[in-house]
Amino acid sequence: MKTIRRLALSAALSLSAPPADACTRLLYETGTKSYMVGRSMDWMVDPNTDLWAFPKGMARDGAVPQGAIRWTAKHGSVISSFYNLATVDGMNDAGLVANVLYLVESEYGDPAASKKPKLSIGAWAQYVLDNFGTVAEAVTALRKEPFAIVAPDLPDGHKAGGHMAVADATGDSAIFEYLGGKLVIHHGAQYRVMTNSPSYDQQLAINTYWNTVGGLQFLPGTARAADRFARISWNLNAAAKEADPRLATATTFSLIRAISVPLGIADPEQPNIASTVWRTVSDTAAKRYYFESAYNPAIFWVDLEKILPAAGGKPVKLDLSGRPMLSGEVSESFVAAEPFKFISR
């Protein structure tokens, strides 16, 4: 117990570093043993997110001037963009879900010192969605580190650093982090929650401590990442596993809303505390991608079977600028568009 408390204290003290967002990701098991992924995007400003549907067969590259990795998408996907410079959230036609959350401790090493092909951090999640149908496939391939990540600054000046959670239709899960230039992978269905700082091993230590306290007695209540990790972990374990698809979706949304930060709550001195600007729920069984803007009192979604372009077709985009009021299935609102370019130096 003393060891757990020392680890928890050490990790908590490390939170003085100022990460730039406070996102949360969870993996919910339904009563029919299917799985849904809920995610919140918290940011100091609106990151100008749009929704995109990309076809399989699409030629891609790592979006760096020299030595970029190249691939052809094996899967189609629906994604949420970030400043239209990065894929930060999405699901592919196999039900694989990728969520990128900010992690200030991220260190990718010096890409110039590597002989490996290069990949923009903005394309990291898209590479996974394009190439893999299961978590196991992604872990096996990425463990070989087939690329070196290039991570330039974001348009707002923040360091572009993040860790990635991946889940599939079987409930398998993995967390990928680059720490000290080394790739660290936590692979297993037990890794159902991810927030931000500190690194994932320290988050697990903090959560172990709170498990000894007991959620019915006390749960930490701030918007800091370690507190959110402990709170959503307890709520997720306590939530009913609903068999009805509509109730299962509602439960996933209720969990991610409960951990969200209200609009107007922000602290310029603590950028890790920022308002939630949108939420997503990915239904890996129904292949349905839900989106909820914090600025509108409505939910909309797309069914991947309806929206994904045919193999080799053109990408389509749902323009969310101006915060349009949308609800229900919105596949018909997407229009053909040239794909955005991933952030590069």
In a domain, 161, yes or no: yes
**Which residue in 282, 190, 168 sits closest to 236, CA to CA?**
190
CB 129 within 8 A of CB 137: no
Q: How many residues does the chain have?
A: 345
Which residue range(s) make up the domain with 311?
2-336
How far is it, in rounded angstroms, from Cα 67 to Cα 82?
24
CB 207 within 8 A of CB 23: no
How far is it, in rounded angstroms, from Cα 177 to Cα 102?
10
pTM of the model: 0.90
In a domain, 341, yes or no: no
Work out the angle at residue 284's Cα, subtended by the Cα atoms of residues 32 and 249, and round it to the nearest 5 degrees.
65
Tokens found for residue 275: 């308002």
Tokens found for residue 135: 């978590």
pLDDT reported for residue 124: 98
In a domain, 345, yes or no: no
pLDDT reported for residue 1: 43
Q: Which of 8, 23, 121, 316 is catalytic?
A: 23
Rounded to the nearest 5°, which phi and psi values hold at 156? -90, 5
In a domain, 344, yes or no: no
The one-digit pLDDT tens for each residue of the chain (345 residues) are 444 444 443 343 333 334 445 799 999 999 999 999 999 999 888 899 999 999 999 999 999 988 999 999 999 999 999 999 999 999 999 999 999 999 989 999 998 889 999 999 999 999 999 999 999 999 999 999 999 999 988 777 777 889 999 999 999 999 999 999 999 999 999 999 999 888 888 888 887 766 666 656 667 777 788 888 888 899 999 999 999 999 999 999 999 999 998 888 766 666 556 889 999 999 999 999 999 999 999 999 999 999 999 988 999 999 999 999 999 999 999 999 999 999 876
In a domain, 342, yes or no: no
pLDDT reported for residue 20: 44
Q: Where are the beta strands (DSSP E) in the chain?
A: 24-29, 35-42, 51-54, 59-61, 70-72, 77-82, 86-92, 97-102, 118-120, 148-150, 162-167, 173-179, 182-187, 193-194, 276-283, 288-293, 299-303, 316-318, 328-329, 335-336
In a domain, 247, yes or no: yes
User: Is 23 one of the annotated active-site residues of the chain?
Assistant: yes
CATH number assigned to the domain comprising residue 35: 3.60.60.10
pLDDT reported for residue 226: 84
- Tally of domains within the chain: 1
- As beta bridge partners, residue 167 has 97, 173
**Which residue in 210, 197, 220 sits closest to 102, CA to CA?**
197
Rounded to the nearest 5°, which phi and psi values hold at 229? -60, -50
